[in-house]
Structure 1
Amino acid sequence: MGEITSTLWQLDNRELVACISASERKLRRDYAEHLAFLAEADARGTAYSLGYSNTTALLMHMLNISRSEGNQRLAHAAALNDAKTPTGAAIEASIPLTAKKLDTGDVSVGQVEVIRRFVGSLDHLEPEKITLAEELLIERAAQDDPNALARFGERVVRDIVDPDGKPPNFDAPQRPERELRRHTYSDGHLEFKGRLDAETAVLFNELLKPFEKYEADDPRGYAERAGDAFGDVLQQAANCPDLPTHNGLKTEVAVTISLNQLMNLAADHVLPGTQLTTADARRICCDAHVLPAVMGGASKPLDIAVPAYTIPAHIRRALVLRDRGCTFPTCERPASVSHGHHIVEWQHGRPTAVDNLVLLCGRHHRLMHRSDWKVELKDDVAWFIPPDFVDPERKPRRNLLHRQESRAS
């Protein structure tokens, strides 16, 4: 690179402009290759296998890009590349002509985004009309910047391929003001939908607001932030002293596992009779209600000890005073929704003590248990060592946000 820049002064203006044009075409071809890598990584679940909840979160840590840029790259990768579902079914690229043009450097990243969005808005049309729309946009892209191309699509292409617009969506019959429909799948996850009356909707939104606040460089989209916020509200409701009882006990989720299994089974081993892996059980045991029991040969309980929390209240208060919130770098989640995480897992012999614990929000607690991130405590400060695919030098990082708040208070 140094040799090139040292001779640039020798180029006349036409030669310099030609070099700019050639380098731009190379950038576009490299972007097409980059999208192919992303499509493959997303299809095979690479991010999840490395401990991340989604590919965007992995890209943010690896490439230091924003959530919006990561989401856009993944959207481009999905639109321009064929993919296979987990069952083996093939999904064709939605804008294959654009993919070919990007691969030859004939369309820009901004034009790709315009075409992707426009074609995506035509999903109610027959495939032939969608193909025609993409052909018209590709032809025009040779002379229009992204903004002009978007106007051309709305004013010209839409009149040709979709003059009537989307069919009207007639109102459904009147339904109850409040309802909740839910379905639990065989793998344990739950999907639900419902509706609330205006008064309850205000209460619902106000409960979620403190927890779904957008954080800088948060890899989660709006829906994922809302889902995590809903989980935080449920967590606080479960800890409420006025929670109704069932058969004399507050609602609990019980997981039975032997200490030998907890210590020795592989992290991805699914526990019998559950959808939980051993890694999930270890994460839950970081900050849970533990009931020691002696079981007979047929799993018959012979002796039940007094239940106890792995992290007692006085230790949790000390953690809140020290950490103030989730200690993971750049995370702003407060202590009220954070879990106590054992730096060295308690089942491996380390005590449940302040110098072996840090506060982590649910998302980063899962990341620590599923990935190669490590944490060390030095002078009451949690330092996180990233995996080598995030930082080859594995330089420790820390969260400065809560410490700044504590100094200001």
Structure 2
Amino acid sequence: MVAPSVSAMTTDGAGTTTGVVTPVAVTALVPAGALADGVTVLTAAVDVLLAVPLWQTPDAGIREAVVELERQAARLEAVRLRVLAAADERRVGTVAGAPSTADWLVGATTTRAEHARRRVDLAVALEADLAATGSALADGKVTGDQAGVVHTVMTRLPAALDAATRADAEAFLLEQAVHLDPRRLAQVGRRLAPRLDVGTGDDLAWTEAGQERRRQLRCTQTDDGTWLLSGQLDPVAGTTLMTALEPLAAPRPAKDGAPDLRPHPRRLADALLQLCEGHLAGATGTSAPRARLVVTVPLATLLDPAAPGADPATLPGGHPLSAEQTTLLACDAHLVPVLMDDDRPLDVGRSVYSWPDKVRTAVRLRDRTCTWGRCTRPAEWGHIHHLTPWSKGGTTAERNAACLCGHHHRLVHREGWRGELIGAQVVWHPPDGGPPLRPPPPWTRALDRVVDRWRARTRPHARRAAA
């Protein structure tokens, strides 16, 4: 066993941060006292770090410490979950009189009840089925939140999947976690389960039915007369609501040079009121066309939605839809062509400056979020930017467009960043000629490889079963 050590940061008179490593030999304490001694060492190390005079630490030291502490926090989370799994295996909660480990955790700590069960389930899974994820967490390669996303995605995979495919799926998710934050990783994970559905999409349809059953809205009036709204909507209902609200929630045009200072939540609330008033008045409440729900459906999926391994239809946020939901929406759909290939690009050239609806829709579906590095603001909230400015001969075309949130759109114009569309991803080049700000690499081909290997393994079994 390697002896653990305490790494403390100190500063000299010049304000330079140095690392002092003090080894603490605990080999003799294994196995009885190693855990308690390790916790003592950790407590001492935290005390040292809390005493560091940060005002004397140079910027480089602060920057390096932030990154390293995030990594060590992930490793510490691995330790917490490992100990929690041991507590569950030994029925520590039951011995203490609690119905379960999760209930005991709630009573013994300040953990919220809805989080305790998930933490125990994750801890147990990392010691068994998700050992690769546990190792990645212990190495600091993924965060605790990312490990939770991997666990959630893996539990939603069809139970009939073979072990090799499940291992491929876990490896794929861990590979993407290096580049994606938990929110984006969850979006990728939502595309994985439907494509590995060994049946006809019944699992996804069953999930959608459960989400629809849980749809609810509570309106409670408080003592001062104000109303509190809370509730839960399934993906289609939530997307429909936001599709209706976002056009009405756009900032008002500046009057007398004064911009709209309402924050986004306030504008959404005002939009909801405007929508209700328009409905009661028998009008749409706006001169704009009726908002439409945009669903991306690959042609092969539209022809055969129930085909095993087919790339599912998705909502604008990337949430997959079952074959049942896809065909249901297609029965009463207004089809919007958003072809984005080299043969038929969406292009109106130099004829107009403002973005037509079809081009705007295509660009948002392509980018999904703000294209600035790892910014995760949804494309629907942002602006469409000309990569080559109109003033310099740029066209109004899908291949000359990029989604940017308001903050990064202003930054691009203010500092002079240059965008370039490479394949289906936008790369931003700084004005000083430095290295480009590259987005996370595309994950679709890696997902296709997982699906192709699964198909290759299951196809011989299907032929034997048919014979």
Give the shorter-chain TM-score range. 0.3 to 0.5
Structure of higher RCO (CA pairs closer than 8 Å, 6+ residues apart): 1
TM-score, length-scaled by structure 1: 0.36
